[in-house]
């Protein structure tokens, strides 16, 4: 098992030492007793342009400030794109803000786990 790196933000339990595809990221968090952050608490989600606030476990909200103590990068969420079994959502850092996007689950991004 890979060792987890220390995380200074208490909303997360583990930071993976390297980038991973989505399946490996989920397995990494599960081995540590956690999971990947979820969007709006859901394992599947489709972007709804209704203007409602979109929350991401540990990261806050889409468009909100990037959380203190989290290295600026791209991180997987545990939320799949509804209707797209090959895709999942990720959070990204831009201009001190949190943004969500989707990508194929075979891509490799950073991994943070929540309890």
pLDDT for the residue 110: 97
Range 14-113: architecture per CATH: Roll (3.10)
| Alpha-carbon gap, residue 11 to 22, rounded angstroms | 20
Residue spans per domain, the chain:
14-113
**pTM, rounded to two decimals:** 0.92
| Alpha-carbon gap, residue 45 to 38, rounded angstroms | 9
3-state secondary structure 45-97: ECCCCCCCCCEECCCEECCCECCCCCCCCEEEEEEEECCEEEEEEEEEEECCE
Q: Which residues contact 17 (CB under 8 A, 6 or more apart)?
A: 2, 3, 4, 5
pLDDT in tens, 14-62: 999 999 999 999 999 999 999 999 999 999 998 775 556 899 999 999 9
For residue 66, which of 95, 110, 96, 101 has the smallest C-alpha distance?
A: 96
Q: Two tokens at 38?
A: 């979820």
């Amino acid at each position: 098992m890979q060792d987890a790196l220390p995380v200074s933000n208490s909303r997360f339990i583990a930071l993976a030492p390297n980038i991973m595809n989505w399946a490996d990221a989920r397995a990494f968090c599960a081995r540590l007793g956690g999971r990947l952050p979820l969007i709006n608490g859901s394992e599947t989600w489709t972007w709804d342009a209704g203007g409602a606030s979109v929350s991401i476990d540990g990261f806050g909200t889409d468009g909100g400030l990037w959380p203190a103590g989290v290295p600026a990068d791209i991180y997987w969420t545990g939320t799949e794109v509804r209707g797209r079994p090959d895709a999942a959502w990720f959070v990204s850092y831009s201009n001190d803000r949190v943004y969500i996007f989707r990508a194929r689950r075979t891509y490799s991004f950073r991994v943070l786990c929540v309890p």
